[in-house]
């Protein structure tokens, strides 16, 4: 059977997929190739059909013959058509494209999960997405945990990057097998000792692509499926997701004004393999863990042989007094694994974090990172080492800390202005966000959705709890990336939504 050029061109035009003229020639032949391939895979052009001569099809489509020839050549190279000199070009017998599964439809609503019987996702994958916490928006009022990336000294950074790109060594352009660039590990060891009272040698530091990757490596290296991990409740959704994906059972542990507060039953029950905690600035409620509570956890870890994982995600930003010392600095038993990130101090897209490990497992973690991820980015790490060594890192933190303190104060004033001086807020003059607490009878998820429709991000506090029956209601309000002139306006939107929720329906 021969396909007439007029029929093929009409088929493409009916699908509104082909508008001749006005495009670069290379894009035109690629587009024509994609369109004909799609018709073959969908069965509109059946196997054995003879395609129109290139000259005739070009005239029908309003393109040059070469454009059609290039498209035919690509189809021939990939096996969608066959060609015989003197006979023409024929559609090959290829399997038809299967019908698109609804869960793969790009037009499907965001967040819509496939049915439990779907063959697309595993049970573990379905569980992972059922409690997903990552937002599709990462900027604007009041995105929590996001720094003001516009303040990053880009010119300085570009100069440092160019310095290392001019004459990069073969080693810096290859895979990293040593846990990160040596200069960055040295700079970090010095900085963490002075700023966070972390006790370590450079060899104990392993550079990662963020805290998520660090948690993944540690939970795989030191834990087995079925092991348990204590985790603060409420706590960071990302930690919970990574642990659950690796088969680690997450056991929620409540927090009080002194931080993580295991119950007597938990203390005297089976010991966990891990204890995940944010002692310097509890996420998301903001309290700091007391020294007695810290020493109690360290003693418990030493007696039971479990590992404490200290997530020190944003402790550089304390607006009154010096940042609190790390939990790791109190540990004389080498049971604490310290994790940090540059996502909060510099910018999230840098994707650079680190972990400080006990000497007994540092080399193993370096080898595990190479085995799982084949790390690199050594040129970027070398530039970051210079950025720290030359004082730019400390200067940047001083600058943004002052600005974040100002924005924090403006947010507190706006809350007082629109919701009253006694409205409860969970914060400690530190970090990148605060929690606006709500009465238990209000639905923080509903309020979050209402203000989101007005371009305001306010994540519901209840989503950070693993135990729904114990969840408090509230809204996380990040202030670091919000211009000063938009803070009051954003709080006004939230206050109206709260007032509406209070009103009888």
Positions in the chain whose pLDDT score sits under 50: 16, 22-24, 101-117, 505
SS3 264: helix
SS3 355: strand
Query: Hey, what long-range contacts does 63-67 have (CB within 8 A, 24 or more apart)?
Result: 63/20, 63/21, 63/28, 63/32, 64/25, 66/25, 66/29, 67/25, 67/28, 67/29, 67/32
Distance CA 143, CA 124 (A): 29
Domain boundary residue, one of 73, 91, 109: 91
Domain boundaries, position 16: 5-91
**What pLDDT does residue 15 have?**
52
**What pLDDT does residue 424 have?**
94
Residues 187 and 319 in one domain: yes
Helices 54-61, 65-77: crossing angle, 10 deg rounding: 120
Distance CA 186, CA 143 (A): 33
Query: Hey, what long-range contacts does 411-416 have (CB within 8 A, 24 or more apart)?
Result: 411/142, 411/477, 411/479, 411/482, 411/487, 411/491, 414/487, 414/488, 414/490, 414/491, 414/492, 415/491
Distance CA 301, CA 295 (A): 10
Model pLDDT for residues 379-434, shown as the tens digit of each residue: 999 999 999 999 999 999 999 999 999 999 999 999 999 999 999 999 777 889 99
Q: Which of 387, 382, 243 is nearest to 311 (CA)?
A: 243
Tell me, yes or no, whether 117 lies in a domain.
Answer: no
Tell me, yes or no, whether 106 lies in a domain.
Answer: no
pTM for this model (two decimals)? 0.78
Residues 243 and 341 in one domain: yes
Residues 281 and 375 in one domain: yes
Q: Residue 13 corresponds to which tokens in the numbers above?
A: 């035009």
Residues 382 and 465 in one domain: no
Sheet with 307-311, edge to edge strand ranges: 205-208, 353-356, 336-341, 307-311, 274-277, 228-233, 249-256, 259-260
Residues 424 and 326 in one domain: no
Q: Residue 238 corresponds to which tokens in the numbers above?
A: 């990302």
Distance CA 478, CA 242 (A): 24
Domain boundary residue, one of 392, 415, 431: 392
Pairing of strands 336-341, 307-311: parallel
Model pLDDT for residues 126-153, shown as the tens digit of each residue: 777 776 766 666 566 788 888 999 999 9
Number of domains in the chain: 3
Residues 417 and 382 in one domain: no
Q: 122-140 burial, b for 16+ CB within 10 Å, e for fewer?
A: eeeeeeeeeeeeeeeeeeb
Q: What is the CATH number of the domain that holds 451?
A: 3.90.1150.10
Residues 380 and 447 in one domain: no
Residues 444 and 343 in one domain: no
> What's the full length of the chain, in residues?
505
What is the dihedral sign for C-alpha 111, 117, 121, 127? positive
Distance CA 428, CA 290 (A): 14
Tell me how far apart the terminal alpha carbons of the chain are, to the nearest angstrom.
Answer: 67
Residues 173 and 257 in one domain: yes
Q: Do 91 and 56 contact (CB within 8 A), yes or no? A: no
Distance CA 357, CA 278 (A): 16
**What pLDDT does residue 103 have?**
41
Residues 193 and 290 in one domain: yes
Domain boundary residue, one of 341, 360, 392: 392
């Amino acid at each position: 059977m021969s396909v007439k050029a007029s029929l093929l061109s009409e088929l493409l035009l009916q699908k509104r997929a082909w508008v001749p003229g006005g495009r670069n020639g290379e894009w035109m032949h690629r587009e024509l190739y994609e369109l004909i391939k799609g018709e073959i895979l969908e069965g509109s052009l059946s196997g054995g059909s003879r395609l129109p001569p290139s000259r005739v099809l070009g005239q029908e489509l309003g393109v040059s013959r070469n454009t059609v020839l290039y498209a035919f050549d690509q189809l021939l190279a990939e096996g969608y058509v066959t060609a015989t000199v003197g006979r023409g070009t024929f559609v090959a017998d290829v399997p038809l494209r299967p019908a698109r599964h609804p869960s793969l439809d790009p037009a499907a609503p965001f967040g819509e999960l496939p049915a439990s019987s779907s063959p697309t996702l595993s049970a573990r994958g379905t569980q992972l997405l059922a409690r997903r916490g990552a937002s599709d928006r990462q900027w604007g009022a009041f995105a929590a945990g996001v720094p003001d990336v516009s303040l990053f000294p880009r010119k300085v950074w570009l100069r440092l990057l160019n310095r290392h790109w001019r004459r990069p060594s073969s080693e810096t352009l290859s895979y990293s097998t040593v846990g990160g660039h040596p200069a960055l590990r040295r700079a970090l060891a010095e900085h963490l000792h002075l700023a966070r009272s972390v006790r370590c040698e450079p060899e104990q530091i392993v550079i990662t692509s963020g805290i998520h990757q660090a948690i993944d490596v540690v939970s795989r290296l030191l834990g087995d499926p079925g092991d348990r991990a204590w985790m603060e409740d409420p706590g960071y959704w990302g930690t919970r997701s990574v642990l659950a994906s690796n088969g680690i059972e997450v056991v929620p542990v409540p927090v009080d004004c002194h931080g993580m507060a295991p119950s007597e039953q938990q203390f005297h029950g089976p010991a966990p393999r891990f204890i995940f905690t944010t002692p310097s600035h509890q996420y998301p409620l903001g309290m700091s863990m007391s020294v007695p509570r810290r020493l109690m956890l360290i003693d418990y870890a030493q007696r039971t042989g479990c590992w404490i994982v200290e997530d020190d995600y944003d402790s550089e930003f304390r607006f009154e007094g010096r940042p609190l010392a790390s939990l790791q600095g109190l540990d004389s038993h080498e049971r604490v694994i310290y994790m940090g990130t540059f996502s909060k101090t510099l910018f999230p897209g840098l994707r650079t974090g680190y972990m400080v490990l006990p000497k007994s497992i540092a080399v193993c973690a370096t080898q595990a990172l190479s085995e799982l991820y084949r790390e690199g980015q050594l040129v970027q790490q070398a530039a970051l080492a210079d950025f720290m060594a030359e004082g730019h890192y400390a200067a940047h933190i001083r600058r943004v800390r002052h600005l974040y303190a100002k924005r924090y104060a403006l947010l507190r004033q706006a809350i007082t202005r629109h919701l009253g001086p006694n409205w409860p807020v969970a914060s400690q003059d530190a970090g990148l966000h605060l929690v606006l607490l709500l009465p238990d009878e209000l639905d923080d998820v509903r309020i979050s959705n209402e203000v989101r429709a007005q371009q305001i991000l306010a994540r519901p506090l209840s989503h950070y709890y693993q135990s729904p029956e114990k969840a408090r209601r509230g809204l996380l309000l990040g202030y670091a990336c919000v211009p000063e002139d938009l803070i009051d306006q954003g709080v006004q939107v939230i206050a109206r939504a709260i007032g509406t929720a209070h009103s009888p329906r």
